């Protein structure tokens, strides 16, 4: 199907604006966002299409919508205070759950890459999983208390979010070239918080909220987005291979930098000296 260039432009901008507004709704009015998400999920059985033949698609629907709801209820629990009936969500295990869910999402893509022989891109995914800030360090994953929103903040470096964006785009492009523009819109919204707005700590929440809605649209029901920006004609195995190599090189540099910083931090800790590695990123 041939789509004019101008259609890609307006449809991608419109979709990114929709996802950005949904994320802002989640940031500012989390209860309203939960109501909207639950309503969408409740209507899925009436217009779902068969995805049972793809373990990757079924897994994505489950592992994106459930963690998103959990994250929202965690924030609500912090908004309501100590007396809330959701007080069991005001504990560190919720951060461990969110961290594990993201690791599972990365693992799904790594497995898909390995099964298809895309080893370079799979290596990039493994590096991202290894170097991601974890909830076992103080202040890496927190619910902020400076505003009534009680936003979820995860302190990840901006360069990590850039590598993740390129890696994830390459993975989805290899499997579903028709969704390249669709997924690019989805990934550009959280990246805008990280790079354009200079708020990488908001990247993780934006990724969770936008991914949940995008997956429901894409694989949980009627996909009205992809027909407006179908990129099937761009599928190219050579481009997939080259993209994987570029990601692999960037991941290798990122891994080397990560190891070097932690080695420096360990030496500084033994010597009792100050380190430029923040506490949440220290080994």
- Taking only the tens place, the pLDDT of each residue in 87-129 is 888 888 888 888 898 898 899 899 999 999 999 999 999 999 9
% of residues, the chain, pLDDT over 70: 87
What is the CB-side half-sphere exposure of residue 221 using CA atoms within 13 A?
16
Give the chain's mean pLDDT: 86
Between residues 215 and 189, the one the model is more confident about = 189
Question: Is 0.85 surpassed by the pTM of this model?
Answer: yes
Q: Is 32 exposed, middle or buried (0-12, 13-18, 19+ CB in 10 A)?
A: exposed
User: Distance between CA 228 and CA 181 in Å, rounded?
Assistant: 10
pLDDT band at 275 (very low <50, low <70, confident <90, very high): low
Each residue's pLDDT tens digit, 54-92: 666 666 777 778 888 889 999 999 998 878 888 888 888
Contact between 128 and 270 (Cβ < 8 Å): no
Q: Assign 268 a pLDDT band (cuts: 50, 70, 90).
A: confident
Over range 229-233, report the average pLDDT.
89
Q: Which of 10-14, 166-170, 277-281 has the lowest mean pLDDT?
A: 277-281
Contact between residue 153 and residue 199 where contact means Cβ atoms under 8 Å apart: no
Q: What is the pLDDT of residue 115?
A: 93
Distance separating alpha carbons of residues 9 and 37, to the nearest angstrom: 27
| pLDDT computed for residue 283 by the predictor | 44
Query: What pLDDT was estimated at residue 82?
Result: 78
157-197 pLDDT tens trace? 999 999 999 999 999 999 989 989 989 999 999 999 999 99
State residue 198's pLDDT score.
94
Of all residues in the chain, what percent carry a pLDDT higher than 90? Answer: 47
């Amino acid at each position: 199907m041939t789509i004019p260039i101008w259609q890609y432009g307006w449809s991608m901008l419109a979709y990114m604006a929709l996802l950005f507004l949904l994320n802002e709704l989640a940031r500012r009015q989390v209860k309203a966002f939960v109501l909207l998400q639950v309503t969408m999920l409740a209507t899925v059985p009436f217009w779902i299409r068969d995805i049972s033949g793809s373990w990757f698609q079924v897994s994505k629907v489950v592992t994106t919508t459930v963690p998103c709801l959990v994250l929202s209820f965690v924030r609500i629990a912090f908004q309501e205070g100590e007396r809330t009936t959701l007080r069991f969500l005001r504990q560190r295990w919720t951060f461990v759950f969110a961290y594990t869910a993201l690791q599972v999402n990365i693992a799904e893509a790594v497995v898909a890459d390995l099964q298809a022989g895309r080893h370079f891109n799979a290596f990039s995914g493994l590096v991202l999983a290894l170097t991601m800030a974890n909830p076992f360090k103080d202040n890496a994953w927190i619910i902020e208390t400076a505003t009534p929103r009680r936003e979820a903040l995860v302190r990840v470096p901006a360069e990590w979010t850039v590598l993740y964006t390129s890696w994830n785009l390459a993975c989805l492009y290899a499997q579903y070239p028709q969704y390249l523009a669709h997924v690019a819109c989805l990934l550009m919204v959280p990246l805008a918080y990280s790079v354009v707005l200079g708020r990488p700590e908001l990247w993780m929440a934006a990724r969770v909220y936008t991914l949940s809605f995008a997956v429901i649209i894409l694989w949980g029901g009627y996909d009205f987005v992809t027909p407006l920006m179908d990129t099937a004609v761009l599928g190219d195995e050579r481009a997939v291979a080259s993209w994987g190599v570029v990601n692999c090189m960037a991941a290798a540099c990122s891994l080397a930098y990560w190891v070097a910083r932690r080695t420096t931090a360990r030496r500084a800790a033994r010597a009792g000296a100050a380190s430029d590695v923040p506490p949440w990123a220290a080994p």
